[in-house]
Structure 1
């Protein structure tokens, strides 16, 4: 097989292409740092002055969504479990509609910089603090995974020191985020979207060519059982079925697009609600394109190694290294293409991590600093210092990431365990008028405890193969003599995604391990959301929730839907008053930046 030939590393052209991507990304950051006097206000730095339009914001949403986890994780999942993962196309539809029609109307009319400002308006400061702390913890974990992934790919391709590349990744992300602020992040995303698409297409096109055409790729995939699009098994313990992907996948991604400040910050930066909604629907097209590309890439990967699996043959130490292995195998004869692929993976990291760092700075300043030190929070230097701090924490978290399981499962588990209860909390606030602060707190605490229980249990006692049902991988076609003579691809640093890195081994598995802990990780978010909402409703009813009076602006109303049809009307000017007081369930809340975003009709409605 051609896969067994000697595989070279980077050449001069590869380094030039890769360096060019880094230079352009940094240049955009520098440009927006000094353009028209730089980022003069906190609002300029964190949300671009609320002057963005739909297309660049949509590209930013799509670009940050296409992280290194997507590039390395999804094709390897399809290689191991089949193309059923492509059913996410339906989950994306549900996600975008729910986000655009339920969560966006409320967040946009309040003009919040951080979604957790809403929790104080709707409930109280303590609920806001709980949500903020959980989000910060979740995002730092996620950012560590995203930094570690391309560093691992770099190590595979260039043999550079793994931890040196991790630090370099974090430094570049910190520079881009702290120099140019939100606008720089958005336009870096737009530039890097093209790089990621080009790198991905290079692998797909060349992989299809070397396999003799798309018909051979599909034929190999069909006979290997990879075209398993429709599996309606209702068993919640099976890793991927129609139901786990549609139900679990939709709720998981609603936690990302609907309430995660990283995404909400983007569409709230649009100059009108129409542009904000359009950015989400345009982004849906981008998500479909990414899913189609990753699915095809996974099928090409399987076709190439359908009778000689590099993982089983120990040519790679983890499934997430399969795509870099494929790239080196099929692109090495074309100068610059290996560099383009690594630029693709690396730019995916830069776009995602820079967005996360910028959002962490926004949430910290808006939720933790501004309520106590309002004058200091308006300083742009504080935004830059906060970005530097979180970038450094993300680098440290990347070291812990090496102890976790597969890339995609780790990320979706993080969003499920933490994001699910948070989604339940926001759903209580927006959709349940009688939900009160006590019910919200009890629901959030219970939902987080339950989802954390199943999440940690699944990591310590992973489901057996008969639960997750991986498809067969064989090495019948390998020339094992040639394999032993080749360069050893298994990392010697010990820093690879090993599914057994910190699992508890136990010969006697209990029913709890084989059932509750074997729950598909796709359902982690579903469990957290449903428990939070159910317990929150019961607790609110028991603690007098029906007696409170809630301002309509904190709820989803029919006017929010009907306003979809008056986008062509001239928007009314926002209030210029710097401070107002609004009653919320008997509590007086002082509003400054939020009221500056509410027009007179909305403020005095009713």
Structure 2
């Protein structure tokens, strides 16, 4: 690789730092396995006894957001496309507000453990089963990729043992999830988010020292076109503009924060509704801090490599390897610090995987096992929950091995996982916001949303959008002393080659910004669901308002504005019910084998 900057390798102290991170994570699991008498019930294991407070839950939500994809991918995104990614700060605020004020009150009031229990309460058990099975399959696939993909990127740059890292992270995750349950997941996330911030901070501080201050970094970024924050082009084909990030990004992330089991399970484990909402708002501060660190790291990377791009010069084989390359380049004289960064990347993996394993165990026990057990004891359910965590940990490690064989299908799998969130978000939105939505309309809408989002998503994988829609910025190799084509020539050549082989639909429908995939799925699901519900008698049904968003819910943070509790909602002929601030018993436990009408009547008699 002539012309590439020689970078350091992984040393003994780096392995020591990485090993210490794994050991402390495992120790937290051991502690919560025995603290307070251990995991005495499935509710204690899966929901932390619904006794969590806002701050640790907020940090846990932040840690899960900050996966290894964020640590490795976002700085590379800023390096190649500029700081427009910063506009996601507005998107995160919208997502948190909508999640806290629309979805949290309904889920929390019902006291559910699995998000998909809501679908049975509101519609029927078949929609619940659909949601559960989709979640299990896609989460296993995604989790395997989350374990393998960053390990591969770090291995190719640092020489860090690939399968040793994959197995070690998988085993440690499984260990503390199985022993300590949700409390172990949350508190290891708190520790790991500290490691991640430390890793980012070390890179930023060293880059500022190398470049002799923050001003040269910002100056280089400005002249290199990287400070391109605002682009109000309404073209939906452009990959990242203000509108695609705000509109498309909100739908995409709302499918994660609003309804995804991994996220919902933690904030409804809080001891009060106020704490649940507060955890999301504190988490927003964490998201902003992470975004700032990632963007600044990307700008610093550009300032350092503005005259010799390692990717174009073939020093690295993929953009995800740029960040590890930078770390070994500027921190090679500081033993243990490269190990801190690798630990931060794997902390992102651990937090994401542990949340997934715990969520998989929760939906399996609550949706697929508990309904078919006769009078199960809490101790028995606790042991089943632990067994499910152990099983899913092994399955996710096996999926990581399979991911290594999929090659080019990795990105397709990640995109499909994201596309599924849109139709599911539409399904939950129908239930919570539309009193006339019925089971038939919900099912047909869900199928319509899946069809639309999978059509555009799979088409985009077969015919990737042209580079002109992504608008990559120029990367130079003039300082490398090598005879390699610049990135600009590369893109132009690709553009000409691809344009000759593409059908007309590929340049429009398939070239939509990837952020709109979820938007399409959500809107089609809601639109079709409304039309079908109205045409199949949706206005004639009675829906208990505890399954809907109410005025009391939306104003629950402002008690002086809350209506009186006996105020009835003047839509259809719903029955009034007392609104409580806390979820307690699960109303889904008492009515498993029944149709929609029986479900409604029996739930009315359950303790809420």
Change (3 A) 1:335 1:567: farther
Among 448, 466, 469, the residue aligned to 1:446: 448
Contact 2:108/2:583 (<8 A) preserved: no
Q: Classify the secondary structure of the residue corresponding to 2:515.
A: helix
Alpha-carbon shift at residue 149 of structure 1 (Å) = 3.2
Give CA deviations for 1:409-453 in whole Å, capped at 9, x if unaligned.
Answer: 768734531000000000000000000000000000110111111
Contact 2:271/2:582 (<8 A) preserved: no
Q: CA RMSD in A?
A: 2.8
Corresponding residue of 1:259: 259
Corresponding residue of 1:560: 553
TM-score norm. by structure 2 comes to 0.89
Q: Which moved more, 1:148-157 or 1:89-98?
A: 148-157
Alpha-carbon shift at residue 589 of structure 1 (Å) = 5.5
Give CA deviations for 1:459-513 in whole Å, capped at 9, x if unaligned.
Answer: 11111112222111121111339x9xxxxxxxxxxxxxxxxxxxx9895211111
Change (3 A) 1:551 1:225: same
TM-score norm. by structure 1 comes to 0.89
1:586 equivalent in alignment to 2:592: no
Corresponding residue of 1:6: 6
User: How far apart are the structure 1 equivalents of 2:392 and 2:377?
Assistant: 17
User: How far apart are the structure 2 equivalents of 1:594 and 1:18?
Assistant: 53
1:433 equivalent in alignment to 2:435: yes
Contact 2:10/2:159 (<8 A) preserved: no
1:300 equivalent in alignment to 2:300: yes
Contact 1:319/1:406 (<8 A) preserved: no
Alpha-carbon shift at residue 591 of structure 1 (Å) = 7.0
Contact 1:416/1:522 (<8 A) preserved: no
User: How far apart are the structure 2 equivalents of 1:152 and 1:593?
Assistant: 52
User: How far apart are the structure 2 equivalents of 1:62 and 1:325?
Assistant: 25
Corresponding residue of 2:465: 463
User: How far apart are the structure 2 equivalents of 1:580 and 1:202?
Assistant: 53
Contact 2:124/2:595 (<8 A) preserved: no
User: How far apart are the structure 1 equivalents of 2:605 and 2:10?
Assistant: 51
Among 516, 521, 525, the residue aligned to 1:528: 521
Aligned 1:145-544 pairs, distance under 5 A: 145-375=145-375, 378=378, 379-402=381-404, 403=406, 413-480=415-482, 507-544=500-537
1:129 equivalent in alignment to 2:129: yes
Q: Classify the secondary structure of the residue corresponding to 1:521.
A: coil
User: How far apart are the structure 2 equivalents of 1:581 and 1:532?
Assistant: 27
Corresponding residue of 1:81: 81
Change (3 A) 1:163 1:376: farther
User: How far apart are the structure 2 equivalents of 1:14 and 1:23?
Assistant: 14
Change (3 A) 1:471 1:54: same
Give CA deviations for 1:58-100 in whole Å, capped at 9, x if unaligned.
Answer: 1111111111011011111111111111100000111011001
User: How far apart are the structure 2 equivalents of 1:247 and 1:347?
Assistant: 30
Contact 2:239/2:513 (<8 A) preserved: yes
Alpha-carbon shift at residue 373 of structure 1 (Å) = 2.1
Aligned 1:14-25 pairs, distance under 5 A: 14-25=14-25
User: How far apart are the structure 2 equivalents of 1:173 and 1:525?
Assistant: 29
Alpha-carbon shift at residue 168 of structure 1 (Å) = 2.4
Contact 1:151/1:166 (<8 A) preserved: yes
User: How far apart are the structure 2 equivalents of 1:304 and 1:163?
Assistant: 32
Change (3 A) 1:530 1:212: same
Count of matched residue positions in the alignment of Structure 1 and Structure 2 = 573
Alpha-carbon shift at residue 586 of structure 1 (Å) = 2.3
User: How far apart are the structure 2 equivalents of 1:349 and 1:187?
Assistant: 15
User: How far apart are the structure 2 equivalents of 1:56 and 1:406?
Assistant: 36
Alpha-carbon shift at residue 265 of structure 1 (Å) = 0.6
Contact 1:79/1:302 (<8 A) preserved: yes
User: How far apart are the structure 2 equivalents of 1:315 and 1:250?
Assistant: 36
Corresponding residue of 1:53: 53
Q: Which moved more, 1:435-444 or 1:171-180?
A: 171-180
Aligned 1:85-96 pairs, distance under 5 A: 85-96=85-96
Give CA deviations for 1:532-591 in whole Å, capped at 9, x if unaligned.
Answer: 000000110111111100000000011212332339999789888997679986233597
User: How far apart are the structure 1 equivalents of 2:72 and 2:504?
Assistant: 34
Corresponding residue of 1:495: none
User: How far apart are the structure 1 equivalents of 2:580 and 2:247?
Assistant: 37
Contact 1:580/1:590 (<8 A) preserved: no
User: How far apart are the structure 1 equivalents of 2:461 and 2:102?
Assistant: 33
Give CA deviations for 1:335-382 in whole Å, capped at 9, x if unaligned.
Answer: 110111111111111111101100111011111111122545842221
Q: Which structure 2 segments of 5+ residues have no match?
A: 485-496, 563-578
Q: Which moved more, 1:353-362 or 1:469-478?
A: 469-478
